[in-house]
Amino acid sequence: MAKTVKEVCCLGIESTADDFGVGILNSNGKILANVSDCYLPETGGIHPREAARHHAEVSSQVLREAFQNAGIRPADLTLIAFSQGPGLGPCLRTGATIARVLAAYLGIPLVGVNHSIGHIEIGKLMTGAKDPVTLYVSGGNTLISAFDSGRYRVFGETLDIALGNCLDVFAREIGLKQKKHVPLGASLEQLAAKGKNLITLPYVVKGMDISLSGLLTAAIGLFKSGEYNIEDLCFSLQENVFSMVTEITERAIAHTEKKEVLLTGGVAANRRLQSMIEVIAEEHDSRFNVVPLEFAMDNGAMIAWTGILAHAQGLSIPIEKSFVRLRWRLEEVNTPWIE
Amino acid sequence: MDRVALPVLLKKGAEASLFIDYWHSRKVVVKKRSAKKYRPAELDLKIRTYRTIHEAQLLSEAKKAGVPTPTIFFVDIKSSTIIMEMIDGEQVKRLIGAELPEKVRGGLCAKIGELIGRLHHYGIVHGDLTTSNMILNPEGKVIFVDFGLGEKTREVEARGVDLHLMKRALKSTHHKFAKECFRAVMKGYADVVGKKEAEEVSNKIGEIEKRGRYNEKRRKDQ
């Protein structure tokens, strides 16, 4: 009892896809550092092995910068958290290896964090939302989740590809290139803002789920026909897919009767999507929250924060059992930190 | 005198609002799909019109399939409004809770499975099978509502998605009983469509789930 407790200081490593991120937080939720480095493919989408190689190459620099920004030494850490899944195998394994080494070397506990839960928890921390319906839209995920009887549940999701993936593939098809700090979605949004004419595309809502792959094929087909203005196509694609995802989000709000909405993931940066979700939140007297971009994109801080929450409930993982989980679904996660 | 109090908002759903009102001195439910400000007006009107017409058609077709649905009295396409019979009873969503004995719950789910089977056998998929869209009336009949996302199709794919949605709705809303409930649903379903067809659809559900994101069964690559 008289034992002095060292303040919790957690380093979190995020490496599910193209970002390698390191965040350092304390148990008050104070962000001491949040550094990341994004892999930029020369052509096409993310090549898992190449992305993993990138992560390994930049890891020591990112870690060093994080320690510098936080103004602490590795020995000040009390906890290591890593994104255990879901994500790309080679990328996850690179992050996990670094996390295991740090935990073993420093002799401190290791916590495996579910990436999707990380997004929700950091979103709640940043916006002050307590019990929201979360729309998480990124290159790898499109899901609507809310907490219900002891777990985060998935109320709606994509039946095939993620919304961010749909936009990215289309953007690449029409010749847009990803640049440092300018995601493909941002370039697409700029083009879409100049579009005026709505071109008919498939609108596929099934219950609380959506399907995007057929719609993407149709949009690419229209582009290749050469008969349509590119700006109009971008505009129509955005309007269509955002309307679909907004519709199912509204269903989830009506169904769960939650009084808060949280928008997160890389696609949350899109102003048009933000405005649509804001409209339905208002209509159902729900408070609209959008996670600031730095913490809406994949980041290490969200892993560190969720690691702190989990560890405070006595959760940690022995190194020999810390295998990555490529398809670890949100609703399988035990979340004792929520009463 | 109680006319003065009507119309009363019964439920503000995501897609439509339900009002209780009088129509030719009969108590009715008015389902109005109001304009959605978030999407372009052009797209919005198209969706609302399509779904209103479709729902009205499917509500009456479902009856032919032997599935109880509210009777339609009037459809106004311009205002995306359907006026229909008021159904007394309780939403199945509120019934599948702890207070229902296991046997009764199983029986109710099997009954739901039978009704889904009848719809599919007739060539209709509901499109939004959740326990909020089913009402148990005092005579013990289950009435299906909300066919706005329905389709006339005989494709195994569409049937699979229909039941996958049912399964997921059970999981997210009644996770405690989801497994036993869905098993009962599939049993009732098989009783109507036959073992062979039920198996085919069941396999399809597995396939659809594997197509989704992050499914453990999707690939054994670990």
Per-residue model confidence (pLDDT) at position B217: 56
- pLDDT tier for residue B59 given thresholds of 50, 70 and 90: very high
**The architecture CATH gives domain B8-85:** 2-Layer Sandwich (3.30)
Chain centre distance of CA A282: 24
Nearest to A236 by CA among A206, A213, A202, A268: A202
Would you call B161 and A159 a contact, using CB atoms and an 8 Å cutoff?
yes
Decide: A289 and A129 in contact? Cβ < 8 Å.
Answer: yes
pLDDT beyond 50 at A63 = yes
Closest chain A residue by Cα to residue B126: A207
Q: Which helix (H) or strand (E) holds A262?
A: strand A260-264
Cis peptide before B68 (omega within 30 of 0): no
Round to whole Å and give the CA distance between A79 and A102: 9
> Angle B178-193/B195-211 helices, nearest 10 degrees?
140
Closest chain A residue by Cα to residue B168: A155
pLDDT beyond 80 at A107 = yes
| A190, A194, A200, A205 alpha-carbon torsion, rounded to 10° | 40
Per-residue model confidence (pLDDT) at position B190: 97
pLDDT beyond 70 at B122 = yes
B132/B52: higher pLDDT? B52
Decide: B80 and B52 in contact? Cβ < 8 Å.
Answer: yes
Closest chain A residue by Cα to residue B41: A198
> Mean pLDDT, to the nearest integer, of A62-66?
98
How is domain A9-119+296-332 classified at the CATH fold level?
Nucleotidyltransferase; domain 5 (3.30.420)
Say if B141 is an interface residue toward chain A (CB within 8 Å).
no
DSSP letter string over A128-158?
--SS-EEEEESSS-EEEEEEETTEEEEEEEB
Per-residue model confidence (pLDDT) at position B216: 57
Close Cβ partners of A94 (under 8 Å, ≥ 6 residues apart): A15, A20, A52, A55, A56, A59
Q: Is the torsion defined by CA of B23, B25, B26, B29 positive or negative?
A: positive
- The CATH classification number of A131-293 equals 3.30.420.40
Decide: B33 and B48 in contact? Cβ < 8 Å.
Answer: yes
Would you call A153 and B171 a contact, using CB atoms and an 8 Å cutoff?
yes
Decide: A137 and A242 in contact? Cβ < 8 Å.
Answer: no
Round to whole Å and give the CA distance between A232 and A210: 23
Where, residue-wise, is CATH 3.30.420.40 in chain A? 9-119+296-332, 131-293
**The architecture CATH gives domain B90-211:** Orthogonal Bundle (1.10)
CB within 8 Å of chain A, chain B residues 42-81: 42-43, 47
What would the pLDDT profile of B67-94 be if each residue is shown by its tens digit? 999 999 999 999 999 999 999 999 998 8
First to last CA, chain B: 70
Record the tokens describing residue A205, joined without a space.
């809502």
> Mean pLDDT, to the nearest integer, of B36-48?
96
What would the pLDDT profile of A271-329 be if each residue is shown by its tens digit? 999 999 999 999 999 999 999 999 999 999 999 999 999 999 999 999 999 999 999 99
Nearest to B213 by CA among A42, A172, A137, A55: A137
* Chain A CB contacts of B215 below 8 Å: 327, 329
Nearest to A154 by CA among A78, A73, A291, A249: A249
**For chain B, percent of residues with pLDDT exceeding 90:** 76
- pLDDT tier for residue B100 given thresholds of 50, 70 and 90: confident
What would the pLDDT profile of B20-40 be if each residue is shown by its tens digit? 999 999 999 999 999 999 999
* Chain A CB contacts of B42 below 8 Å: 198
Is B128 in the active site?
A: yes
- Mean pLDDT across chain B: 90
Q: Do domains B8-85 and B90-211 have the same CATH topology?
A: no
- pLDDT tier for residue B3 given thresholds of 50, 70 and 90: low
Domain chopping of chain B, boundaries: 8-85, 90-211
* Chain B CB contacts of A251 below 8 Å: 14-15
pLDDT beyond 60 at A2 = no
| B16 Cα to chain A: minimum distance (Å) | 10
| B214 Cα to chain A: minimum distance (Å) | 4
What is the side-by-side strand order in the sheet with A142-148? A151-157, A142-148, A133-137, A260-264, A287-290
Per-residue model confidence (pLDDT) at position B189: 98
What would the pLDDT profile of B145-178 be if each residue is shown by its tens digit? 999 999 999 999 999 999 999 998 898 888 889 9
Catalytic residue among B21, B128, B162, B221: B128
pLDDT beyond 50 at B221 = no
- pLDDT tier for residue A187 given thresholds of 50, 70 and 90: very high
Report ipTM for this prediction. Answer: 0.84
